[in-house]
């Protein structure tokens, strides 16, 4: 089956629309941004290993003790930058659990409209939170 450039682009855009579900209602990516994400994933055939990369989702329970243990025992400074509209890690339950488990971490909660991709949805707020963390040393 041959697909025109337009048809292929349409299929990709429709697939990437699902990613929009984890963006806030006021921070939805544009079609150009979705295309840029796809271009980034396609770089160096990254799309061919996407399934392997996403296996961590299925491995969370199996490796929970090890992964959480790494966060709780590290001496490396940690800082969480969080979007409170994140449907994957819902507020306030996620933050309460994170602060309970990762006691040495600091935390920045961004504006109420920010969701799962704070670095894309509020680049300035994310950058300022990061700078505050870095400048705290």
Q: Higher-confidence residue: 34 or 80?
A: 80
Residues 6+ apart with CB under 8 A from 36: none
SS3 state at 80: strand
**Sign, Cα dihedral of 74, 75, 76, 79:** positive
**Sign, Cα dihedral of 62, 68, 74, 78:** positive
Q: What pLDDT is attached to residue 28?
A: 95
Average pLDDT in the 1-26 region?
73
Average pLDDT in the 43-51 region?
92
How far is 78 from 67, CA to CA, in rounded Å? 14
Q: What pLDDT is attached to residue 80?
A: 98
Whether residue 3 is predicted with pLDDT greater than 90 in this model: the reply is: no
Residue in 43, 45, 48, 54 with CA at minimum distance from that of residue 18: 54
Residues 6+ apart with CB under 8 A from 110: 81, 82, 83, 84, 118, 122, 125, 126, 129
49-93: per-residue pLDDT in tens? 988 988 999 999 999 999 999 999 999 999 999 999 999 999 999
């Amino acid at each position: 089956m041959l697909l025109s450039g337009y048809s292929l682009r349409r299929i990709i855009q429709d697939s990437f629309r699902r990613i929009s579900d984890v963006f806030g209602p006021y921070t939805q990516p544009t079609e150009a941004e979705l295309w840029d994400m796809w271009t980034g994933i396609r770089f160096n055939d990254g799309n061919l290993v996407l399934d392997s990369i996403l296996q961590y989702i299925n491995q969370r329970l199996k490796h929970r003790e090890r992964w959480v243990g790494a966060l709780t025992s590290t001496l490396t400074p940690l800082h969480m930058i969080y979007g409170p509209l994140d449907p994957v890690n819902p507020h306030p339950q996620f933050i309460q659990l994170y602060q309970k488990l990762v006691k040495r971490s600091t935390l920045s909660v961004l504006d109420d409209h920010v969701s799962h991709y704070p670095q894309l949805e509020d680049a300035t707020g994310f950058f300022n939170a990061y700078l505050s963390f870095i400048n705290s040393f």
